[in-house]
Chains A and B, each alone.
Chain A
Amino acid sequence: MDFGFIMEAFPQIAAAIPVTLLMVFVSAGIGWVLGLAAALVRKNRTPVLSQILAVFVSFMRSVPSVIVLYIAYYVMPAVIYAYGQNIGWAIDINAVPPIAYAIFALTLSQAAYSSEVFRAAIAAVDEGQTEAAYSVGMTRAQALFRIVFPQAFATAMPNLGGLFVGLIKETSLAYYVGVYEITAVANLLSIPKLNFIEAYIMTTVVYEILSFLFNKCFRAGESRLKRFRANAAG
């Protein structure tokens, strides 16, 4: 074990944590909002759109994330470029940083997976809750935001926590398209003197700590959201 390498490399690996977290927060933030919207569209059985979403979700769930990332990285620029030419606008594809493609791919996958989580959680809320909300005169939006979502989120929380921790690990794929996140930095630093074991240990420790911390956050959120369930004290 090369402790000198560890002492030297660890700060640089830690310095890449914000890059990883940036991808995590943006993809989860946008992806989950899209996922929730998709879940509602599918719940309402909105014609056409809900079928398209069903196909999209099953596609995203069956294709390996790394393929989605490659599609985003190699195919999208060509599409954007062609579109730019179409509207007579020269878009400089090289100006788009790789992290944008990584975030794009991760966001889509989060949207797909979270839409299934939200769909199940919303379906688990008794229809009588919505009817009671309507009976006191609430609009559809009021019933959703004040009554249905708070209950659905409590149900969804454990699965969202799992999704989030999985996402932290998945950001390491961004290494393949040249994003300098935790895994990339550790790997690049390990190459000159072949310190692969040390690098793997350090990345493992960093991911482990991040997962542990966010797991705790979700647990806390879950028990807060679930305080209305039976035996919650009081």
Chain B
Amino acid sequence: MDYMVKLENIQKSFGDNHILKGVELNIKKGEVVVILGPSGSGKTTLLRTINFLDAADEGSVCVNDFKVDAKKHNKAQVIELRRKTAMVFQNYNLFANKTILENVMEGLVTVKKFKKSDAEEMSRRILAKVGLSERCDFYPAQLSGGQQQRAGIARALILDPDVILFDEPTSALDPELVGEVLSTIKNVAQTGITMIVVTHEIAFAREVATRVIFMEGGKVVEQGPPEALLVHPKEPRTQQFLSRITGISESA
């Protein structure tokens, strides 16, 4: 198959709340897909169904030819799928009881069974790339939000996943720290790894994304290359949303 990520008819409800209403998505290797959409449209939920932090009620998730059916999945499949993906969280979610270095090593040692010395060497190298060489032995609580999020990116990257899922990676940050994290993500994108990024950073989307998706009400409303979708959206709902978040009316 030529797609790295393939979502088919993803349906998800919480109680009576029908959140995802049949999402279809095909993503090629190396694509950087940015998902936009109003609050409550199901962006986070969609990312979480991809690595089964929330199992979808219906549909299937396929990552690098490994397909899991939402309706009949088992633990082993879920673990396998999670080992093909990695996630960067809005609140960083670094392991609070581990140092930055240990946070990055953890997946290699515990999950991939690397030798500790090898894992440490690789982790130090990747932490240097995100500018955290000096902070290896600090605990997360001792770092700024921007530093924590860069460590979160390193923790995801080191597992060499087929796709990295970013859920609003900069929205919990103080404004002056957003830039450092976005430029780290940009560097990651340039390595050719497949990424799905939920964000409200339009400038970032325009510069880094290969495709932008607009979601609303649990459905993909419109998608296309960044220029087309962000500058000349076809759907009125996309236009409304964009004018609201950029604060200027595109049509005026």
* Residues in A lying within 8 Å of B, measured CB to CB: 126, 128-129, 131-139, 142, 146-147, 150-151, 154, 227-232, 234
Contact = CB atoms under 8 A, between A and B. Distances in A.
Given A136-B106, A136-B107, A136-B159, A228 B98 contact: yes
B53 to A, nearest CB: 5
Contacts of A150: 97
Contacts of B141: 228-232
Tell me if A's interface is mostly helix, strand, loop or mixed: helix
B97 A151 contact: yes
* Most chain A CB neighbours (cut-off 10 Å) among B94, B95, B137: B95
A228 B51 contact: no
B96 A228 contact: yes
Nearest to B88: A135
B108 to A, nearest CB: 9
B142 to A, nearest CB: 6
A139 B96 contact: no
Given A146-B106, A232-B139, A234-B137, A136 B97 contact: no
Which bracket fits the contact residues of B?
A: 20 to 34
B79 interface: yes
Contacts of B110: 136, 138, 142, 146
Q: Would you list the 10 A-B pairs with minimal beta carbon distance, nearest first?
A: A136-B107, A230-B141, A137-B83, A132-B93, A128-B93, A135-B87, A137-B111, A150-B97, A228-B139, A137-B82
* Most chain B CB neighbours (cut-off 10 Å) among A134, A135, A147: A135
A142 B109 CA distance: 11
18 contacts: A129-B95, A131-B87, A132-B87, A135-B89, A135-B156, A136-B106, A136-B110, A137-B82, A138-B110, A138-B111, A139-B79, A142-B110, A147-B98, A151-B96, A228-B98, A230-B141, A231-B142, A234-B139
B238 interface: no
B82 A131 contact: no
B11 interface: no
A211 B139 CA distance: 33
A125 to B, nearest CB: 8
B95 A133 contact: yes
Contact of B97 (A131, A137, A147, A231): A147
Nearest to A225: B97
A158 to B, nearest CB: 17
Contacts of B99: 228
A101 B100 CA distance: 49
Interface in B90-139: 91, 93-99, 106-107, 110-112, 137-139
Nearest to B52: A134
Contact of A135 (B53, B97, B138, B139): B53
Contacts of A138: 107, 110-111
Contact of B89 (A131, A147, A230): A131
A43 B85 CA distance: 28
